[in-house]
Amino acid sequence: MSNIEFKKQLLEWRHYLHKYPETAFEEVKTSAYIAQELQKMGLEVHENIGTTGIVANLTMGDGKGVIGLRADMDALNLNEVKDLPYRSKHQGKMHACGHDGHMTTLLGAAQLLSTRRNFNGTVRFIFQPAEEIGKGAQAMIEDQLFERFPVDEIYGLHNMPGLPAGTIHTKSGPIMASEDNFVIRIKGKGAHSSSPHMGVDPFVIAAEIILALQTVVARNLDPLQTAVISCTEIQSDGIRNAIPSNVEIKGDTRSFTPEVQKLLEQRMKSLCEGICAMHGAECEFDYTHEFSPTINWDKCNEVATLAAKNIVGVENTNSDGTPIMASEDFGKFIEKIPGCFVFLGSKVEGEEVIPLHNSMYDYNDEIIEIGAEFFAEIIKLRLAKE
């Protein structure tokens, strides 16, 4: 396949996947399409792992090394606004995070490696469902992913609209945060809005709690550590002229270590219960762990850095990039298995930056080949022929 034919194939894959988005654990047609394309390349394909996930194997020579490459598959529940020739055909669903580009990048790497055959060992191409809700990696793990398909190391990437197109950014240690969700239920006593003294106003208590939670990061966390506490939803059972009996606050926290996660949970619970008790209200506090932090392994970061330098050049490689507080369930894979996650810049100079999870977002097709070559280079480095 010529370079022109390869680029044409990448566009065909990406635009098809963009046109038919499917959300978490519903990636049935997406999965079938990917499996079909991988089988055309001669790969050994295993389907329905962790519901809709795929593992495709490619082995060359007698090498014992096994490297995993991963892409996420799910779309978002957003209505696409941009008028594209390959605009989403599924109303209310679109690839607004670039997973269509990630899948295409991994398909491209499979095409390059199956054609070049320049390695000695096994590559596992892992297409993961349900990243957006933080459940897909765990679903595949629970379906015995690594027992059935052991890997020595695993690598992944995510496009980043705010970074210059064609640049690759990585780092050792934390690169993306955990996400923990919380629900605070305040039970007061309803009353007529004209007679607040006859009730216990859960809205006033909620306001105090929302402000108090911000002191956890400001006054309980080591200033050299990083965390975010965000209250994002508030609901009540009241009406305009009635003080409610119940108020519910929802939100999430972001951090990089289990120790900080534990501190946040404990201090938040203590504050909520204490403030409610002070006002004579009852409190229920639920705290759940949704995404693990993504913490790159040192040796894998070295591999990713070298691969990036070989593909995009030293000047376009940042081996000590800035971590972000967003979350990615790739972190679940590398809690025990060595791995590295990188950011692939997609920003075009002079053009407006459309952020991820925006209904106008569209993947930059120009960076797909770079991502595919980067993945292929990792395999060349880690499974080098002797």
Work out the average pLDDT over 310-329.
96
For residues 279 and 309, membership in a common domain is answered with no
CATH value at residue 50: 3.40.630.10
- Rounded average pLDDT over 105-118: 97
Are residue 334 and residue 259 in the same domain, yes or no? no
Last residue of a domain, one of 259, 291, 323: 291
Shared domain for 102 and 79, answered yes or no, is yes
Residues 93 and 30 in one domain: yes
Residue 90 labelled as part of a binding site: no
Per-residue model confidence (pLDDT) at position 2:
87
Same domain, 238 and 372: no
Q: Would you state the pLDDT for residue 385?
A: 77
Q: Each residue of 197-231: b (16+ CB within 10 Å) or e?
A: eebbbbbbbbebbeeebeebbeeebeeeebbebeb
Q: Which long-range contacts (CB under 8 A, 24 or more apart) does 61-65 make?
A: 61/119, 61/120, 61/121, 61/385, 62/120, 63/119, 63/120, 63/121, 63/122, 63/383, 64/121, 65/120, 65/121, 65/122, 65/152, 65/382, 65/383
Residue 1: what pLDDT? 75
What does pTM read for this prediction? 0.93
Task: Point out the domain boundary residue: 240, 274, 291.
Answer: 291
Looking at the fold, whether 194 and 134 belong to one and the same domain comes out as: no
Is residue 23 domain-shared with residue 172, that is, in the same domain? yes
| The two three-digit tokens of residue 112, written as one number | 């390059």
Give the per-residue pLDDT at 214. 96
What average pLDDT does the chain have? 97
Q: Is the pLDDT of residue 329 over 80?
A: yes
168 and 304 co-located in one domain:
yes
Could you list the beta-strand ranges (E) of 73-135: 121-128
Asked if 184 and 282 sit in the same domain, the reply is yes
**What local confidence, expressed as pLDDT, does residue 17 receive?**
98
357 is in an annotated binding site: yes
- DSSP state at residue 352: P
Q: Give 336's pLDDT tier (boundaries 50, 70, 90).
A: confident
Q: What is the mean pLDDT of residues 124-130?
A: 98
Q: What would the mean pLDDT of 223-234 be, rounded to a whole number? A: 96
**How many domains does the chain fold into?**
2
pLDDT digits (tens, 9 = 90+) for 174-204: 999 999 999 999 999 999 999 999 999 999 9
102 is in an annotated binding site: no
Question: Does one domain contain both 286 and 306?
Answer: no
Q: What residues make up the domain containing 262?
A: 178-291
Quick one: pLDDT band at residue 163, thresholds 50, 70, 90? very high
pLDDT exceeding 90 applies to what percent of the chain? 98
Instruction: Say whether both 45 and 158 belong to one domain.
Output: yes
Supply the pLDDT for residue 386: 67
Of the residues 270, 291, 312, the one at which a domain ends? 291
State residue 34's pLDDT score.
98
Residue 10: the pLDDT is: 98
The CATH number of the domain holding residue 185 is 3.30.70.360
193 and 327 share a domain? Answer: no
Distance CA 270, CA 326 (A): 26
